[in-house]
C-alpha cells in the first residue's frame, strides 16, 4: 500500500512554489488547472465566434456577484419589495450601479448565449461526439430561462407583477393538472407574497445551484472530447510526436489572451449600456416596471422581456383559425415521413397514430387554441435539444455546405429576430400573420432538416484545419 508522498522541492525554492506544492500534495489544484485550461490543447483556428463561451462564464460570475450584493438590501416581501429596490437605487452607495449591472447583465447573458448557440449551429458543434455537450448546454439554457423568469417578478413593478400573472396562467391551459399546477407555482390563488417568496428562493438558491452543476458538466464533457473548430475537423485524428494534435495549441496563454480581448470589448459595450442606456429604450427595463405592482390596474400591453419574446410570439401565433393550418401541416409532415423516411414500418405507424391523436386534439370541440399555443411554445424551445439527431449533413461546418444552406440559416436568424420583435409589440392582424408565417418556417427548418441537410453539392473538407494567422 502506498502512503502519503510529499513533493520534494529545493530548499531555496520561492515561497509561492512551496505553498503550491503543499496544496498539490493534498488537492489536485495544478492538475485541475492544466487539465481544464493550462495544458488543454484547442484547435488553432478559433475565430471570434469562439469568444462567447468564455464570455458566458464571465457574465455568470458577474450575475452571481451583483446578485449577492443586491440580496443584502432586497426585501422579499410584497409590501416592501418595490421600495427596497428604490432604496438600493437611491440610498445604498453605488446601489444603482450594482442594480443596473445585474439588470443589464441578464440581457447580456441571453445575447451571449444566443450568439454561442448560433456558433454551434453554424459549425455543427452539436454533432458526434459532442451530443452530450449540446444537451448540457440546452439544459443550461432552460435553467437560464427559469432563472430569468423567477427573477423578473422580484422588483414587484407593474410589468413584473402582470408578466408573472400571465406566464403562470399559461400553465392553467394544460388539461386536468393545469389549474392545480398554476396554484402550486403561485403558492396562492393570485400572484402574492407567497409567490414572491418562492420565486426569490428559486432565483437565489435553487436554480443557481443547478446552473453551476450543469456548467461544470458542460465544461468537463467539452474537455473530454475536445473542442470543435470552424472547419468541423477532428484535430485529435492527427497527433504529433508529443501526443498532442498537430493543429492545436495550448489554451494558456494563447486563448487566455484571445478571451481577455473579448472580455475587454464586451466590458466596453456593457459599461456604455449601464452608464448611458440601462433601460435600452424599454427593452432591458420596461417603463411600467418603474411603477409599483398594482393588482387592480392592468397595463395596456403585457409582454415578457425581450429574450422570451421569440417563443412568446409562437404562443400568440396559435389562434383558433391558425389551428386548421397546423392540422394540415401535421398531416402533410407525417405523409412526407411515410414517403421519404427510412424509419422502420412500426415506427412510422406509431408516428402516424400520434399524429392522428394530435389532429383530433386540435379540433375546437376537444382542446382550445390556448392549450396548443402553450404546447407549441414549449416545443419551439425543446426542439433545439434534438439538433444532433436532426442534422444528417455529411459535413459539420457551414463552410463546406452548399450556398443555399447558408440562406436557410440566414432566414432562420431573420425569422427568430422578427418573432422576437413582434413579441414585444401589441398584437394586430398583420403582425399575427407574420408571426404565423415565422412559426411555420421555424418548425419547418428543424423538422425537415434530416432531408434538406443532405441535399446539394458539398465542398471537400480538408484533411487539416485551415488556418490564417491574424
* Domain assignment of residue 14, yes or no: no
| Inside any domain, residue 122 | yes
Residues 374 and 173 sit within 8 Å (Cβ to Cβ): yes
> Among 277, 298, 329, where does a domain finish?
277
CB-based contacts of 421: which residues, under 8 Å, 6+ apart? 309
Q: Is 464 helix (H, G, I), strand (E, B) or coil?
A: coil
DSSP helix/strand/coil, 391: coil
The answer on 312 and 273 residing in a single domain is no
- Between 55-64, 163-172, 271-280, 396-405, the lowest mean confidence (pLDDT) is in 163-172
- With both helix axes pointing from N to C terminus, report the angle between 403-424 and 95-123 in degrees, rounded to the nearest 10: 150
The predicted structure's pLDDT at residue 3: 66
Question: Among the listed ranges 20-29, 210-219, 311-320, which one has the minimum average pLDDT value?
Answer: 20-29
The mean pLDDT value for 388-399 works out to 94
143: confidence class by pLDDT, cuts 50, 70, 90: very high
- Is 269 found in the same domain as 312? no
Count structural domains, the chain.
2
Q: Are residues 121 and 77 in the same domain?
A: yes
Residue 292 within a domain: no
| 217 and 328, same domain (yes or no) | no
Of 167-181, 214-228, 420-434, which range is least confident?
A: 167-181
The Cα 44–Cα 249 span in angstroms is: 6
Note whether residue 134 is domain-resident: yes
258 labelled as ligand-binding? no
* Rounded mean pLDDT, 164-184: 85
Statement to judge: residues 193 and 325 lie in one domain: no
pLDDT at 300 over 60: yes
Specify if 144 maps to a domain. Answer: yes
Is the same domain home to 99 and 58? yes
CB-based contacts of 470, cutoff 8 Å, min separation 6:
none
Question: pLDDT digits over 112-139, tens only?
Answer: 999 999 999 999 999 999 999 999 999 9
CA dist 60 and 15 (Å) reads 33
Among 441, 445, 447, 457, smallest CA distance to 340 is for 447
Work out the average pLDDT over 388-414: 95
Which CATH number covers residue 166?
1.20.810.10
pLDDT over 60 (residue 459): yes
Average pLDDT, integer, range 18-44: 86
In this predicted structure, the answer to whether residue 389 has a pLDDT above a threshold of 70 is: yes
pLDDT at 343: 79
- The annotation status of 244 as a binding-site residue, yes or no, is no
Mean pLDDT of 433-438: 96
Was 301 annotated as part of a binding site?
Answer: no
Average pLDDT of span 379-404? 95
Tell me whether residue 405 is annotated as binding.
Answer: no
Q: What pLDDT, on the 0 to 100 scale, is given for residue 339?
A: 86
Partners of 42 in the β-ladder: 249
Domain interval for residue 401: 306-452
Query: What is the secondary structure of 26-47 as a DSSP string?
Result: TS-HHHHHIIIIIT-EEETT--
Statement to judge: residues 202 and 325 lie in one domain: no
The cell numbers describing 113, all together, are 448565449
Say if residue 398's pLDDT is above 70: yes
Q: Note whether 262 and 350 are same-domain residues.
A: no
Mean of the pLDDT values across residues 449-461? 94
Residues 327, 395 within the same domain: yes
In a domain, 96, yes or no: yes
Mean pLDDT of the chain: 91
* 195-233: pLDDT as tens digits: 999 999 999 999 999 999 999 999 999 989 999 999 999
What pLDDT score was predicted for residue 211? Answer: 96
**Residue 348 pLDDT more than 70?**
yes
Same domain, 258 and 349: no
The pLDDT of residue 469: 62
Instruction: Check whether 2 has a pLDDT greater than 60.
Output: no
Tell me if 214 is assigned to some domain: yes
User: Closest Cα to residue 149, out of 355, 317, 309?
Assistant: 309
**Whole-number pLDDT of residue 394:** 94
The answer to whether the CB of 22 falls within 8 A of the CB of 15 is: no
Q: What are phi and psi of 189, to 5 degrees?
A: -80, -15
* Helix or strand holding residue 319 (H, E): none
Is residue 299 assigned to a domain? no
pLDDT band of 470, cuts 50, 70, 90 = low
Q: What is the mean pLDDT of residues 155-173?
A: 87
| 467 pLDDT more than 60 | yes
pTM for the structure as a whole = 0.93
Q: Is 203 annotated as a binding residue?
A: yes
pLDDT digits (tens, 9 = 90+) for 234-249: 888 888 888 888 889 9
Query: Are 358 and 269 contained in the same domain?
Result: no
Q: Are residues 232 and 331 in the same domain?
A: no
Amino acid at each position: 500500500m502506498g502512503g502519503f508522498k510529499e513533493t520534494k522541492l529545493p530548499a531555496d525554492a520561492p515561497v509561492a512554489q512551496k505553498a503550491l506544492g503543499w496544496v498539490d500534495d493534498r488537492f489536485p489544484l495544478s492538475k485541475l488547472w492544466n487539465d481544464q485550461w493550462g495544458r488543454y490543447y484547442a484547435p488553432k483556428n478559433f475565430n471570434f465566434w469562439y469568444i462567447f463561451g468564455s464570455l458566458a462564464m464571465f457574465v455568470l460570475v458577474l450575475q452571481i456577484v451583483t446578485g449577492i450584493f443586491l440580496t443584502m438590501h432586497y426585501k422579499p416581501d410584497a409590501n416592501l419589495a418595490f421600495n427596497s429596490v428604490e432604496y438600493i437605487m437611491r440610498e445604498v452607495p453605488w446601489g444603482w450601479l450594482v442594480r443596473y449591472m445585474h439588470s443589464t447583465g441578464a440581457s447580456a447573458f441571453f445575447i451571449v448565449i444566443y450568439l454561442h448557440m448560433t456558433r454551434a449551429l453554424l459549425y455543427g458543434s452539436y454533432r458526434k461526439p459532442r451530443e452530450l455537450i449540446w444537451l448540457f448546454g440546452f439544459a443550461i439554457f432552460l435553467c437560464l430561462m427559469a432563472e430569468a423568469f423567477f427573477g423578473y417578478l422580484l422588483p414587484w413593478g407593474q410589468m413584473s407583477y402582470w408578466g408573472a400573472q400571465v406566464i403562470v396562467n399559461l400553465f392553467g391551459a394544460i388539461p386536468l393538472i393545469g389549474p392545480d399546477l398554476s396554484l402550486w407555482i403561485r403558492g396562492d390563488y393570485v400572484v402574492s407574497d407567497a409567490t414572491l417568496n418562492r420565486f426569490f428562493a428559486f432565483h437565489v438558491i435553487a436554480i443557481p445551484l443547478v446552473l453551476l452543476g450543469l456548467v461544470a458538466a458542460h465544461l468537463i464533457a467539452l474537455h473530454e472530447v475536445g473542442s470543435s473548430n470552424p472547419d468541423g475537423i477532428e484535430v485529435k485524428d492527427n497527433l504529433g510526436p508529443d501526443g498532442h494534435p498537430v493543429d492545436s495549441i495550448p489554451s494558456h496563454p494563447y486563448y487566455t489572451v484571445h478571451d481577455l480581448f473579448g472580455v475587454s470589448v464586451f466590458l466596453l459595450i456593457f459599461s456604455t449600456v449601464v452608464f448611458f442606456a440601462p433601460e435600452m429604450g424599454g427593452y432591458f427595463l420596461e417603463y411600467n416596471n418603474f411603477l409599483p405592482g398594482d393588482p387592480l390596474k392592468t397595463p395596456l400591453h403585457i409582454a415578457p422581456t425581450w429574450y422570451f419574446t421569440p417563443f412568446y410570439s409562437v404562443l400568440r401565433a396559435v389562434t383558433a383559425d391558425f389551428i386548421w393550418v397546423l392540422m394540415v401541416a401535421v398531416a402533410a409532415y407525417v405523409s412526407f415521413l411515410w414517403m421519404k423516411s427510412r424509419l422502420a414500418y412500426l415506427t412510422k405507424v406509431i408516428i402516424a397514430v400520434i399524429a392522428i391523436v394530435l389532429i383530433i386534439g386540435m379540433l375546437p370541440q376537444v382542446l382550445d387554441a390556448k392549450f396548443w399555443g402553450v404546447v407549441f411554445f414549449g416545443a419551439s424551445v425543446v426542439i433545439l435539444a434534438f439538433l444532433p439527431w436532426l442534422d444528417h449533413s455529411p459535413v459539420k461546418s457551414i463552410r463546406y455546405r452548399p450556398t443555399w444552406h447558408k440562406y436557410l440559416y440566414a432566414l432562420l436568424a431573420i425569422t427568430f429576430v422578427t418573432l422576437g420583435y413582434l413579441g414585444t409589440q401589441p398584437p394586430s392582424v398583420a403582425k399575427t400573420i407574420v408571426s404565423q408565417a415565422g412559426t411555420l418556417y421555424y418548425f419547418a427548418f428543424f423538422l425537415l432538416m434530416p432531408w434538406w441537410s443532405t441535399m446539394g453539392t458539398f465542398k471537400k473538407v480538408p484533411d487539416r484545419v485551415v488556418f490564417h494567422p491574424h
